[in-house]
């Protein structure tokens, strides 16, 4: 997809984050519930990684972060999931 397809994807993604944070605001626990916050972090990370995997696999409009990594993968002839920095 073209470079300009990132604009609507980014706008939709950012609005989705804001709306979901507003909806899920009541789930945010007090500061002393670290285990609950950690569980929410893990669940959110898993959902986000699943969404990115679907987005890359379907080769639809990518947001800037994934588009940059995908361009590196094409340039370096590596798969998206195994791109590592040189040590």
Domain boundaries, the chain: 3-82
63 CB burial (10 A radius; 0-12, 13-18, 19+):
middle
61 in Cβ contact with 9 (< 8 Å): yes
The alpha carbon of 58 is separated from its chain's Cα centroid by a whole number of angstroms, namely 15
Which bin fits 46, alpha (ψ -120 to 50), beta or left (φ > 0)?
Answer: alpha
Query: For the residues 5-30, what does the mean pLDDT come to?
Result: 79
Task: Say yes or no to pLDDT of 87 above 70.
Answer: no
Look up the pTM and report it: 0.58
What integer pLDDT is reported at residue 86 of this predicted model?
Answer: 54
Task: Say yes or no to pLDDT of 43 above 80.
Answer: yes
What is the percentage of the chain residues whose pLDDT exceeds 70? 82
Report helix, strand or coil for 83.
coil
42/46 Cα distance (integer angstroms): 6
């Amino acid at each position: 997809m073209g470079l300009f397809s990132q604009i609507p994807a980014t706008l939709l993604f950012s609005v989705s984050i804001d709306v979901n944070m507003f909806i899920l605001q009541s789930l945010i626990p007090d500061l002393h519930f670290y285990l609950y916050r950690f569980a929410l972090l893990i669940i959110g990370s898993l959902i986000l990684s699943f969404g990115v995997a679907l987005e890359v696999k379907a080769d639809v409009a990518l947001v800037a972060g994934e588009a940059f990594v995908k361009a590196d993968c094409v340039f370096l002839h590596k798969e998206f999931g195994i791109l590592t920095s040189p040590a």
